[in-house]
Amino acid sequence: MKNKSAFFCQQCGFESPKWAGKCPSCGAWNSFVEEKVTKASNKNDVSDLWTEEKKETGKAKSIESIVAEEESRMLLPDEELNRTLGGGLVQGSVVLVAGEPGIGKSTLFLQCAMQWQGAKTLYVSGEESAHQIKMRAERVGVKNDNLYLLTATDTNVIFSEIKKLKPQWVIIDSIQTLESSSIESAPGSVSQVRECAAELQRFAKQTGTPVCIIGHITKDGNIAGPKILEHMVDTVLQFEGDRHYAYRILRTLKNRFGSTSELGIYEMTSQGMRGVTNPSEVLLTQHDEPLSGIAIAAAIEGLRPMMIEVQALASQAVYGTPQRTTNGFDLRRLQLLLAVLEKRGGFHFGMKDVFLNIAGGLKIEDPAIDLPIVCALLSSYEDNALPSNVCLVGEVGLSGEIRAVNRIEQRIAEAAKMGMDVIVIPKANAKGLDTKNFNIEIKLANKVSDVYQTFFG
């Protein structure tokens, strides 16, 4: 054995023989931490702990000789989780799930493991005791004899139990608590997280067993640990939402086997996480009377159309520089839309505080909600409410024109299903659109001034 010390960047995992003020890889300042690294004369092969046979040495093959086969997937009992994974859990895949403390990561996967009766599952916890996990499992109200709990942090112990049980699904809670005997450093350090993730990845690929890893996030909202952790896994999911509210959003950040624009919506209840199959019903607020500054948008996240409520407030600035505050929308995009209204429409937003909120805690990047945001701003500016049965969709250009958006048929169908009477769409989307197929009045708009004359003129 030979001990040595190395310096690792806490942001990206870059290794340096000496301390440096600025990381040459990611540019972060004061991010290097000294860690002790143990190098053995003969490297310990952890694959001996889960397999009896040595893996054959890889040989180069012609690409034409390789047969392309579709990945076999395992359908989970949670429809929202299947959607974010791209249609199910791929065998041999490694899934990383991160989120704020107390948002429901452990509850979601424990509940899914309890409901999956047909698969032998091993739930490894390095943060909680078996009694704490049992108390959480009792809230779900489902019994499962194929679910096994293991409270351990040493990877050698974990792989020894895996060799005995031969589970079909492994859940690790969490990667920051694991430690490998081949690295002499504290759990949660860059070298330990990297080595433990590498061992889990080798296990998943060699045995074909899917592994779900629960991870932490930093105060900046990034996934804790080295950046290489996200490159090593196949899928990265992030749990979003305020833990003081009931609704949670599971968003896909990376997926080698599916789309990265999918999301799942959950509601936190006393019995665990409940998937929301129709998010439009929970995202739309029912008002007794029309209120100014509110517009309904037909947005699409992934493959799912949904109706969301956009709330805007424009008030006279009394403290000098006007404020621009957004929740769930890009602040720079809001400033762009305000500049368009100032230049093309003559509305003096430069002396007003502007506040924008996407109801339900969603973060929307769909450019089709530009027109609803503009109408919500104009509604608050004029203090004139939009009709509650009107839905809007369209991207706003710098000249004040309304540009075409994709998948307009799905947006119109969702608006009609939610009981909307009128939908405003870009005029460019009218080509090839059969309006007789929809039970809703469709209005065409070419410029923002046309919409203003229709509702506020």
Binding-site residue set: 99-106
Cβ atoms within 10 Å, residue 19 = 10
Residue in the block written with tokens 């599971």: 250
Residue of 268, 226, 225 whose CA lies nearest to 245: 268
Strands 263-269, 247-255: pairing kind: antiparallel
Q: Looking at the chain, how many residues does it have?
A: 457
CA dist list (Å): 82 to 97, 283, 363, 430 = 14, 22, 21, 34
Amino acid at 342: E
DSSP SS3 for 263? strand
Nearest to 26 by CA among 227, 291, 309: 227
CA distance 104 to 130: 18
- Distance separating alpha carbons of residues 300 and 309, to the nearest angstrom: 13
* SS3 of 155-223: HHHHHHHHHHHCCCEEEEECHHHCECCCCCCCCCCHHHHHHHHHHHHHHHHHHCCCEEEEECECCCCCE
Between CA 110 and CA 132 the distance in angstroms is 12
Cα–Cα dist 21/33, whole Å: 11
131-148 burial, b at 16+ Cβ within 10 Å, e below that, comes to eebeebbeebebebebbb
Q: Which residues line the annotated binding site for ATP? A: 99-106
